[in-house]
A and B are shown apart, each in its own frame.
Chain A
Amino acid sequence: EIVLTQSPTTMTASPGEKVTITCRASSSVSYMHWYQQKPGASPKPWIYEASKLASGVPDRFSGSGSGTSYSLTINNMEAEDAATYYCQQWNYPSITFGSGTKLEIK
């Protein structure tokens, strides 16, 4: 089973700041996706296939990476971006999630 390690676990960013969340896999993955979750809500699809934004995701978000190293970046942090972000890998037939990064606004 592929283990995903996200860092940092928790972070605080100021409005306008650039934010980067990383996700490292214990072995190479076929595809990496990202989800956003706010308290009391279901996860939302956010970035798929490492770099493609899901419908409705602001273009200040971007994703990159390959192999075992991936990242989610926010250019110009906004208050509405405060949430927990999870990476998820697909390496058929296995799917695993990272433990999440909680992003707070300063």
Chain B
Amino acid sequence: EVKLVESGGGLVQPGRSLKLSCAASGFSFNDYWMGWVRQAPGKGLEWIGEINQDSSTINYTPSLKDKFTISRNNAQNTLYLQMSKLGSEDTAIYYCARASYYGFSAYWGQGTLVTVSS
């Protein structure tokens, strides 16, 4: 069974950094592109970016490219999202997803909530 479990969310002060993790199991992690999507409270889905199998290609949505960094550790079956200079607009549930063909996210984690507030 494919399982994606995000962690690392919580309350963080404006301007600070935070690193999220996504533990993957039930499939061969190093065979798949992986990505992050977020959802602000009561709002729609926003694609953050994705990383290929060997980390040689990482794509971001343009507005977040300078704030967020996606990485992965294939030995530990873990995906990461490093977020910097956080503001209230970054308050959201952050989902990791396993990509399938043509950008389709066939599996999603349960999400981790990040709240940016003083």
Contacts and interface: CB of A to CB of B under 8 A. Distances in A.
Contacts of A1: 61-62
A99 B103 CA distance: 18
A95 B37 CA distance: 10
B46 interface: yes
Contacts, number: 71
A45 B45 CA distance: 13
Contact of A45 (B35, B102, B105): B105
A100 interface: yes
Interface string A22-55: 0000000011010101000011110011000010
B104 A33 contact: yes
A31 B102 contact: yes
Contacts of B106: 45, 48, 54
Given A1-B61, A45-B106, A97-B46, 14 more contacts: A33-B103, A33-B105, A37-B45, A43-B95, A43-B108, A86-B44, A86-B45, A89-B103, A92-B59, A94-B59, A95-B47, A97-B37, A97-B45, A97-B47
Contacts of A42: 95, 108-111
A88 B102 contact: no
Interface string B9-27: 0000000000000000000
Contacts of A95: 35, 47, 50, 59, 61, 103
B36 to A, nearest CB: 11
B100 interface: yes
A98 B47 CA distance: 11
Contact of A96 (B47, B50, B105): B47
A33 B47 CA distance: 13
17 contacts: A33-B103, A42-B95, A43-B45, A43-B105, A43-B108, A44-B108, A45-B106, A48-B100, A48-B104, A54-B106, A86-B44, A88-B104, A92-B59, A95-B103, A97-B44, A97-B45, A97-B47
B94 to A, nearest CB: 11
Contact of A35 (B35, B45, B62): B45
A86 B97 CA distance: 15
A1 to B, nearest CB: 6
